[in-house]
């Protein structure tokens, strides 16, 4: 099956979703903001006080004044540490809560996905989004976002303080900002692809080496040595080239950041010195401005470093949001079926455009009828079953239940009417009762046991903990036939009007299968049953048999009629019965 990837949200949607996530908890966000601002403001006191001390010393003062100033500076440093700690704590809590909301919404989106979409996309894509993408967004929300945020707040506060101190010195602080922005953007635009290429080249090299080592004998016997060495050299060359590229990117970024830090300091000392000589600023002001500039180093570094992580986070977020962009299979029309007549009218279906798997199937199934569908493997029987259960819509033609298209019914209505049981069914981690209650949440124990008995499952009665026995890893592991019985028991509990059994008893041994089908038939008296059968006794017991070959129904009639007609069914029956 070709996988059609799930959609990815665009930038605008990601921005909107980010805002929704952040503003979902406004009070907490305001608290975090206020704490960060308080921390940044407290951090401003140190350099300013040092500047004042210098000025005081210059103009001659007492040691006790200096002591008071120094003690005040210490107090502010401690205050800053406390505020920063409180801000980080509140920020992390906020991040975790936002992440929890994101997870819940993601889960809702996943559960709303049309089954066919999940099947076409493959579960791998969804699993990656649910696990590593959510984790990446989590890291961003927990670490990158608060750090960048703190960095920005500090930068704004420090820049503001510089301007208040002296506007000209404030301007000096900004001189490297344009260049720094340009270099950072230049780097970020290339970094992602370069690092991805480096990772990919290393993976290829490692795989190539491993393949040569594992197949050493084959390499020797087939005299492939020279070829393998050349191939390896090429891969090493490719890996080397990608490595050089990432090194080159860093060799531009890091020195630029260093220069960006020193340039304003040099400018401030130079210009501040000139202003001091002209008596336009005090020595303390120049010193304070220089200290502020050194304080800028840390937030700038943090912002540059974490922006890359934030980019990865936003890519992952786009993939998570993308899941919510899948349109619902078909918006339910709200129409209510009249009766349970199942009508298949000239249905076509293709998994890949141009290759019809169903090529014009028409069939009416009366309520209460037992229809068996038989035919060679690959004829399209299971595909028809999926369409009947409303999982996929026909490419052409209609499937109606009581006059309403199967895919037009809303999910609960559809499940009440039609249920599909196939060979693969899942046992959910939980008790036997949990597993059965999926189908009928309000069923009592007696009903559950009756359902189990109806499908020939006697083993639950012997379980020491009965319906409270844990199933799945760590608990009782039902074997294939027990799992199948559970799936059938669920079906009995769900009690739909129409059930489609796609080799639903294939895991049971022939006798047990026949018993299960018979007892099911008794319980489901009056229900429509469409059984896709690989064992012909199912067909023998049915009211009518449809033979499917190559995407069309070629024979339709009762077992006796078809067996007598001498067609495909007759020969199938002869070989099955006689063989």
* C-beta of 374 vs 404, nearer to ligand ADP: 374
Least distance in angstroms from the C-beta of 349 to ligand ADP: 9
Render 304-337 in DSSP notation, one character per residue.
HHHHHHHHHHHHHHHHHHHHTTSPPSS----PPP
Counting Cα atoms < 13 Å in the Cβ hemisphere of 153 gives 21
* C-beta of 448 vs 533, nearer to ligand ADP: 533
Angle ∠(11,14,15) on CA atoms, nearest 5: 85
Q: Give the start-end residues of each E strand in 124-275.
A: none
- 460 contacts 492 by C-beta, under 8 angstroms: no
Least distance in angstroms from the C-beta of 418 to ligand ADP: 17
Instruction: Tell me, by CB under 6 A, how many residues bind ligand ADP.
Output: 11
Does 1 help bind ligand ADP (rule: CB under 6 A)?
Answer: yes
Least distance in angstroms from the C-beta of 355 to ligand ADP: 8
* C-beta of 146 vs 380, nearer to ligand ADP: 380
| Interatomic CA distance for residues 203 and 266, integer angstroms | 45
* C-beta of 240 vs 351, nearer to ligand ADP: 351
The sign of the CA dihedral 371, 376, 379, 385 is positive
| Interatomic CA distance for residues 453 and 445, integer angstroms | 12
List all residues 6 or more positions away from 283 whose beta carbon is below 8 Å from its beta carbon: 54, 55, 58, 276
Least distance in angstroms from the C-beta of 507 to ligand ADP: 16
Least distance in angstroms from the C-beta of 1 to ligand ADP: 4
Q: Which of residues 287-326 bind ligand ADP (CB under 6 A)?
A: none
CA distances from residue 432 to 160, 311, 335, 440, 450 in whole angstroms, order as listed = 66, 45, 36, 13, 14
List all residues 6 or more positions away from 456 whose beta carbon is below 8 Å from its beta carbon: 485, 508, 512, 515, 516, 519
Least distance in angstroms from the C-beta of 532 to ligand ADP: 7
Least distance in angstroms from the C-beta of 329 to ligand ADP: 16
Using alpha carbons, select from 238, 418, 408, 224 the residue that is nearest to residue 328: 408
| Interatomic CA distance for residues 549 and 376, integer angstroms | 7
* C-beta of 73 vs 542, nearer to ligand ADP: 542
Does 562 help bind ligand ADP (rule: CB under 6 A)?
Answer: no
Question: Residues 358-397: x/- map of binding to ligand ADP (CB under 6 A)?
Answer: -----------------x-xxxxxxx--------------
| Interatomic CA distance for residues 180 and 433, integer angstroms | 63
Least distance in angstroms from the C-beta of 429 to ligand ADP: 27
Question: Residues 320-359: x/- map of binding to ligand ADP (CB under 6 A)?
Answer: -------------------------------x-----x--
* C-beta of 379 vs 455, nearer to ligand ADP: 379
* C-beta of 1 vs 446, nearer to ligand ADP: 1
* C-beta of 18 vs 382, nearer to ligand ADP: 382
Least distance in angstroms from the C-beta of 381 to ligand ADP: 3
- 503 contacts 497 by C-beta, under 8 angstroms: no
* C-beta of 261 vs 359, nearer to ligand ADP: 359
Using alpha carbons, select from 544, 540, 569, 570 the residue that is nearest to residue 558: 544
Question: Residues 448-487: x/- map of binding to ligand ADP (CB under 6 A)?
Answer: ----------------------------------------
* C-beta of 273 vs 378, nearer to ligand ADP: 378
* C-beta of 292 vs 573, nearer to ligand ADP: 573
Least distance in angstroms from the C-beta of 2 to ligand ADP: 8
- 552 contacts 359 by C-beta, under 8 angstroms: yes
- 362 contacts 548 by C-beta, under 8 angstroms: no
Residue in the structure block whose two tokens are 């041994």:
509
Helix boundaries (H) for 278-408: 283-323, 381-388
* C-beta of 194 vs 547, nearer to ligand ADP: 547
Least distance in angstroms from the C-beta of 32 to ligand ADP: 48
Does 248 help bind ligand ADP (rule: CB under 6 A)?
Answer: no
Least distance in angstroms from the C-beta of 391 to ligand ADP: 11
Q: Which residues bind ligand ADP (CB under 6 A)?
A: 1, 351, 357, 375, 377-383
């Amino acid at each position: 099956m070709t996988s059609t990837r799930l959609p990815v949200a665009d930038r605008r949607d990601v921005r909107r979703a980010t805002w929704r996530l952040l503003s979902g908890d406004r009070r907490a966000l305001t608290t975090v903001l206020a704490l960060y601002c308080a921390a940044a403001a407290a951090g401003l006191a140190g350099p300013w006080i040092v500047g004042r001390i210098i000025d005081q010393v210059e103009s001659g003062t007492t040691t006790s004044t200096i002591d008071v100033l120094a003690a005040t500076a210490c107090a502010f440093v401690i205050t800053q540490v406390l505020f920063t700690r409180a801000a980080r704590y509140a920020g992390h809590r906020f991040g975790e809560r936002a992440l929890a909301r994101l997870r819940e919404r993601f889960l809702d989106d996943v559960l709303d996905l049309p089954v066919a979409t999940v099947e076409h996309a493959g579960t791998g894509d969804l699993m990656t989004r649910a696990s590593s993408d959510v984790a990446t967004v989590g890291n961003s929300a927990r670490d990158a976002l608060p750090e960048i945020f703190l960095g920005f707040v500090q930068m704004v506060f420090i820049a503001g303080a510089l301007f208040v101190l002296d506007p000209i010195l404030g301007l000096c602080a900004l001189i490297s900002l344009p260049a720094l922005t340009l270099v950072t953007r230049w780097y970020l635009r290339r970094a992602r692809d370069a690092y991805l290429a480096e990772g990919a080249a290393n993976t290829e090299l490692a795989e190539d080496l491993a393949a040569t080592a594992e197949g050493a004998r084959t390499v020797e016997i087939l005299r492939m040595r020279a070829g393998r060495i050349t191939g390896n050299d090429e891969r090493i060359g490719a890996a080397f080239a990608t490595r050089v590229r990432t090194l080159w990117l860093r060799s531009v970024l890091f020195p630029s950041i260093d220069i960006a830090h020193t340039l304003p300091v040099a400018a401030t000392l130079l210009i501040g010195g000139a202003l001091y000589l002209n008596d336009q600023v005090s020595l303390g002001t120049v010193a304070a401005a220089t200290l502020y500039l050194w304080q800028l180093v840390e937030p700038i570094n943090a912002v540059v470093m974490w922006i890359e992580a934030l980019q990865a986070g936003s890519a992952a977020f786009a993939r998570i949001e993308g899941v919510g962009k899948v349109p619902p299979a078909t918006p339910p029309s709200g129409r209510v079926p009249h009766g349970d007549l199942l009508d298949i009218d000239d249905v076509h279906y293709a998994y890949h455009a141009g290759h019809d798997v169903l090529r014009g199937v028409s069939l009416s199934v009366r309520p209460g009828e037992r229809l068996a569908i038989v035919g060679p493997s690959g004829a399209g029987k299971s595909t028809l079953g999926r369409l009947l259960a409303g999982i996929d819509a026909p490419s052409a033609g209609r499937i109606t239940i009581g006059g309403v298209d199967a895919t037009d019914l809303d999910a609960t209505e559809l499940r009440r009417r039609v249920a599909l049981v196939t060979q693969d069914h899942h046992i959910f981690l939980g008790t036997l009762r949990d597993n059965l209650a999926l189908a009928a949440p309000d069923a009592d124990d007696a009903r559950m046991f009756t359902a189990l008995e109806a499908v020939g499952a006697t083993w639950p009665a012997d379980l020491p903990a009965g319906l409270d026995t844990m199933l799945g890893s760590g608990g009782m592991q039902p074997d294939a036939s027990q799992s199948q019985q559970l799936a059938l028991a669920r079906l009995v509990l769900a009690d739909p009007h129409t059930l489609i059994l796609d080799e639903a008893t294939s895991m049971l041994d022939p006798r047990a299968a026949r018993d299960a089908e018979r007892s099911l038939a008794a319980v489901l008296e009056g229900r429509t049953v469409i059984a896709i059968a690989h064992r012909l006794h199912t067909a023998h017991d049915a009211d009518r048999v449809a033979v499917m070959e190559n995407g069309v129904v070629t024979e339709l009639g009762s077992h006796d009629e078809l067996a007598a007609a001498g067609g495909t069914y007759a020969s199938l029956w002869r070989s099955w019965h006689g063989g």
